[in-house]
Chains A and B, each alone.
Chain A
Amino acid sequence: MANITQLEKTASQVRRDIVRMVHAVQSGHPGGSLGCADFFIALYFEVMNHNSSNFNMDGNGEDLFFLSNGHISPVWYSTLAHSGYFDKSELATFRKLNSRLQGHPATEEGLPGIRMASGSLGQGLSVAAGAALTKKLNGDKSLVYTLHGDGELQEGQIWEAAIYAAHKKIDNLISTIDFNNRQIDGDVSDVMSLGNLRQKWEAFGWEVLEMDGHNMQNIVDTMSLAKSKTRQGKPIMILMKTEMGQGVDFMMGSHKWHGIPPSDEQLANALGQLEETLGDY
């Protein structure tokens, strides 16, 4: 049984890390990172079977995760650090010269936990489909997970991959969309509406689930349900309803905290709203 309280405490620490990292270097993307903190913690501490102490690129016998919307790197880096992939003190190097924690995730510096660069949007679903195919070829029963932004679905390559994954019955793949209806220029529904996403993905041949991205119990239960639906001939898409900036009141309710850092005063305000549970880096 998942310890929901402990997962929530870890997510609170990750949210503190996110705002501190982005504040320290006065750049980065806090909004989507905060919105996905609960998902990342559930994924790495409850859902996935993964080996944080002996990272290798091939990941045979392990579940794999690909972050397609790479700009929310702060939440991934903090989650990886708390999972044991590297020391959390390294979070202080985020976006600085000679760091392994690049602005967008990269493999070149050898940061454990990262298997593919991302940042240019729309590529992660294809990559994950490929990794899932290799797992099938290798007889590896592990699963492949991805996360995408909702605005990212405006990229055509996503739909190429959607067609392909259904056609090839890639049923060891569980994808999630961070459905916060925000993108840089405004609300997704205003910039370029996605219409009915459930119907779209179902029409493309995917099994579609929905979950509340800020209800830890619901995330854990829905991901468990998703796992039970693997190997049934269909790839799985989870529409995860989230709030950009979740956990910091003044960052919520707007798209404007997509990619700007908090000031000193705003940082203090934000940290006052987020319990320090595991010790700041």
Chain B
Amino acid sequence: MKKYVVQNQKDTRSGFGEGLAELGKENPNVVALCADLTGSLKMNEFENNHPDRFFQVGIAEANMMGIAAGMTIGGKIPFTGTFANFSTGRVYDQIRQSIAYSEKNVKICASHAGLTLGEDGATHQILEDIGLMKMLPNMVVINPCDFNQTKAATKAIADYHGPVYLRFGRPKVANFTPENQKFEIGKAVMLNEGKDVTIIATGHLVWKAIEAGQILAEAGIDAEIINIHTIKPLDEEAILNSARKTKCVVTAEEHQMNGGLGDSVAQCLARNFPLPQEFVAVNDSFGESGTPEELLEKYGLGASNIVDAAKKAFNRK
């Protein structure tokens, strides 16, 4: 099992904020909109440096999506910022018609996704957003795993023309991917080559997958670990290459089992190379208040859950 060094513990939302601040300096067409959550989204630096390109829209997310769509006409690249819940479910029809169907170059940047929002509880812990967004034609869906990767993704999506959903979170998590990495939309990252089971993870659960890989190695199971930061378009080639080698798959995500990364991988396997697959995801329930780590444990998203799923998949071969 390849060793990964944790550089520090950092929140992915700060990666977004730093990436956006750099974009502000590098790309004059980038504009940012926020619905009364500037501090939570870490958009302050962009706001302070580029007040003319920062648009506070108040607590009116539907309006924000429409404004962003309109701002693309004339060449601006709007980045919207609010919580994941208010970036998707609350404004689904606005995104569907004015952004996705109209093919507008809007970057929907969503923080506080998933259970690890923590104490605020289920009203804010959206676990359906990946599914909502990946169902929309024209929409790219990205869920980076740590600070460095979120920063790189934020910068990369400015160079891609078309609607993007960028999902990140609130808690400080292990920051282990390279600083100043090149981020390729739709290109999976191989974290560990193995032969016994493929673990495909996204977002915060990528680090959990690495922890699980170490435990599995001690138990004599050689796990291949893939970071799928882009859920759509899915890197099917990377998944199938690995699946053909290991013959069983585990998916891991901080999202509902219905509609998430696991579904996308299962669909890919069913069409190309059917295999045993186990799903580490929230099983058709809402979350609740608690600390991020408590919630991940209670809802079955910890490293031990990935270990158990990997063993189960391995035994089903």
8 A Cβ contacts from A151-194 to B: 156-157, 160-161, 163-164, 167-168
Report A92-120 CB contacts with B as 1/0, cut-off 8 Å.
00000000000000111000000111111
Q: Which one, B63, B67, B76, B102, contacts A117 given CB within 8 A?
A: B102
> Which stretch (B50-58, B125-133, B218-226, B237-245) binds chain A?
B50-58
CB-CB under 8 A for A131 and B103, given A137-B31, A160-B62: no
A161 and B55 alpha carbons, distance in the complex (Å):
13
- Report B178 CB to chain A, min CB distance, Å: 35
User: B68's closest neighbor in chain A, by CB?
Assistant: A130
Main secondary structure of the interface of B (DSSP, over half): helix
Q: Within the assembled complex, what's the spacing in Å between the Cα atoms of A134 and B53?
A: 10
Q: How far is the CA of A157 from the CA of B69 in the complex (A)?
A: 14
Is A129's CB within 8 Å of the partner chain B? yes
Segment 151-169 of B: residues with Cβ below 8 Å from A: none
Contacts of B52 in A (CB 8 A): 137
Instruction: Using A108-B103, A160-B62, A161-B63 as known contacts, say yes or no to A129 and B94 having CB atoms under 8 A apart.
Output: no
Across the interface, name the chain B residue whose C-beta is closest to A133. Answer: B71
A123 with B97: CB separation less than 8 A? yes
Chain A residues within an 8 Å CB radius of B66: 123-127, 129-130, 157, 161
* B52 → chain A closest CB, angstroms: 7
Q: In the docked arrangement, what's the CA distance between A125 and B70, Å? A: 9
Are B97 and A117 in contact, CB atoms less than 8 angstroms apart?
yes
B67 touches A127 (CB 8 A): yes
Measured between alpha carbons, how far is A245 from B97 in the docked complex, in Å?
28
CB-defined contacts of B39 to chain A, threshold 8 Å: none
Check if A138 is an interface residue, CB within 8 A of chain B: yes
A106 to B102, CA, bound (A): 7
Question: Is there a chain A Cβ closer than 8 Å to B5's Cβ?
Answer: no
- B75-A108 in contact (CB<8A): no
Interface size class of B (residues with CB under 8 A): 20 to 34
Q: Are B63 and A134 in contact (CB under 8 A)?
A: no
Tell yes or no: A264 within 8 A of B by CB: no
Q: How far is it, in angstroms, between the C-alpha of A132 and the C-alpha of B67 when the chains are bound? A: 9
> Is the CB of B101 closer than 8 A to any CB of chain A?
yes
Counting contact residues on chain A (CB < 8 A from B), the size range is 35 or more
Residues from chain B with a CB closer than 8 A to the CB of A120 are 93, 96-97
A138 to B70, CA, bound (A): 14
CB nearest to A57 among chain B residues = B73
B-binding segment of A21-29, A42-50, A58-66, A216-224: A58-66
For B93, the chain A residues whose CB sits under 8 A away are 120
Known contacts being A107-B102, A116-B102, A119-B97, is A127 close to B62, with CB within 8 Å? no
Q: State whether the Cβ of A128 lies closer than 8 Å to any Cβ in chain B.
A: yes
List residues of A whose CB falls within 8 A of some B CB: 57-60, 64, 66, 106-108, 115-120, 123-135, 137-138, 140, 156-157, 160-161, 163-164, 167-168
15 A-B pairs (CB sep. < 8 Å): A106-B102, A116-B98, A123-B94, A123-B97, A126-B62, A126-B64, A126-B65, A129-B63, A130-B73, A131-B70, A134-B70, A134-B72, A157-B62, A164-B58, A168-B55
